[in-house]
Structure 1
Amino acid sequence: MLITCDNNMQMGYIYLMPNETTVEYTLEESDIGLYYDIESLSIPRIKWLGMGQILSKMRLAVKTYREAVNNVFHCEYWNDLDGEGYMMGIELYLTEEMLLPLVAHQAFKLYDVRWRNQDFRVLTLDAYLDVLDKNNVIYPLTSQKDAFVILSVDPISKVGRIMALISARDDLYPVDYLQKPLFMLANSSRYFNRD
């Protein structure tokens, strides 16, 4: 899974679906190697049946993500959806100082869960305790209810932040792709401070 972070621009993008852009990158080109052994980077896959019970206690929105954006909450930047409403990628405020702890603590994880009497994969994009916060809201991406996002919505600004993807659509969100970490850090402060 390709996750980019340009430290100069303080912007990042998470490619949830593989596309032509994702094959252009290799970890050897990333500044992440200044901090971590790139061979040791991983996105673990974990079977956690109990997560489905936790998800069932969270609020499930009636509106789809597309229907709710700019009505119920606002986006920090923009999240790309395909014609049907499935999320292709997430644009977000992301600095080196934010990315490095997420990588170090393996916040990016793929869980196999049973929820709503169906098998799903949950891709966490933050620490799982923050992802599973009872105040977060689950939004379906389409009326098929085979893919969802977990949103943390700031109560004051009403800005929603994507915390996780929940998917039963392995054709759109292939497990092999989601488990392959491509953390592309550009313009690292450490790179510029090298002698």
Structure 2
Amino acid sequence: MLITCDNSVQMGYIYLMPNETTNEYTLDKSDIGLYYDVNSLSIPRIKWLSMGQSLSQMRLATKTYREAVDKVFHCEYWNDLDSEGYMMGIELYLTEDTFLTLVAHQAFKLYDIRWRNRDFRVLTLNAYLDVFNKNNIIYPLSVKKDAFVIVDIDPITKVGKIMALISARDDLYPIDYLRNPLFMLANSSRYFGEISTM
């Protein structure tokens, strides 16, 4: 899964679906190796069927994500949806420090769970306790209710931040893709620090 962070503009993008763009990126072009052994980076897959109980404590919205955007909450930047409403990617404010912390603490995890009498995968995009906060809201991505996102909505600004993807659509969100991390860090402060000392 391709997750980018450009330190010069403090922006990131999470590619939830594989596409042609992801083929342009390779770890040798990333500054992440300045901080971590790239061979040790992983997105763990964990079987935790009872996690569905945590999801059941959150409110499940009746509107789809697309219907709620700009009515119930606003996007931080922009999240790309396909024609059916499935989320392809997430654009977000992301500093180098935040990005490195998420990677270090393995915030990106893939869980196999049982929820709503069905098997789902949950891809977390933030710290566990922040993802499964009871105040977060689950939005279906389509009327089929086979994929959802967990959204943390700031009560003051009404900005919604995507915390996790819940999916039964392995065709749209392939497990092998989600488990294969490609952490692309550009314009790292450490890289520029090393250049200036040469």
Structure 1 length-normalised TM: 0.99
SS of 2:190 mapped into structure 1? helix
For 1:59 and 1:82, how far apart are their aligned partners in 2?
Answer: 24
Match of 1:98 in 2: 98
Question: What is the CA-CA distance between 1:188 and the residue it aligns to?
Answer: 0.2
SS of 2:49 mapped into structure 1? coil
Question: What is the CA-CA distance between 1:161 and the residue it aligns to?
Answer: 0.1
Q: Which structure 2 segments of 5+ residues have no match?
A: none
| CA deviation profile, 1:94-114 (whole Å, cap 9, x unmatched) | 010110000000000000000
Letter of the 1:153 partner, please give it: I
Question: What is the CA-CA distance between 1:87 and the residue it aligns to?
Answer: 0.1
Q: What is the percent sequence identity of the aligned residues?
A: 81
SS of 2:52 mapped into structure 1? helix
Match of 1:113 in 2: 113
SS of 1:155 mapped into structure 2? coil
| CA deviation profile, 1:130-162 (whole Å, cap 9, x unmatched) | 100000000000000000000000000000000
Match of 1:80 in 2: 80
SS of 2:22 mapped into structure 1? helix
SS of 1:129 mapped into structure 2? helix
For 1:5 and 1:45, how far apart are their aligned partners in 2?
Answer: 23
Letter of the 1:51 partner, please give it: M
Structure 2 length-normalised TM: 0.98
Match of 1:43 in 2: 43
SS of 1:50 mapped into structure 2? helix
For 1:28 and 1:40, how far apart are their aligned partners in 2?
Answer: 15
Letter of the 1:115 partner, please give it: W
For 1:178 and 1:22, how far apart are their aligned partners in 2?
Answer: 12
For 2:155 and 2:97, how far apart are their aligned partners in 1?
Answer: 24
For 1:128 and 1:112, how far apart are their aligned partners in 2?
Answer: 15
Q: Which structure 1 segments of 5+ residues have no match?
A: none
Match of 1:166 in 2: 166
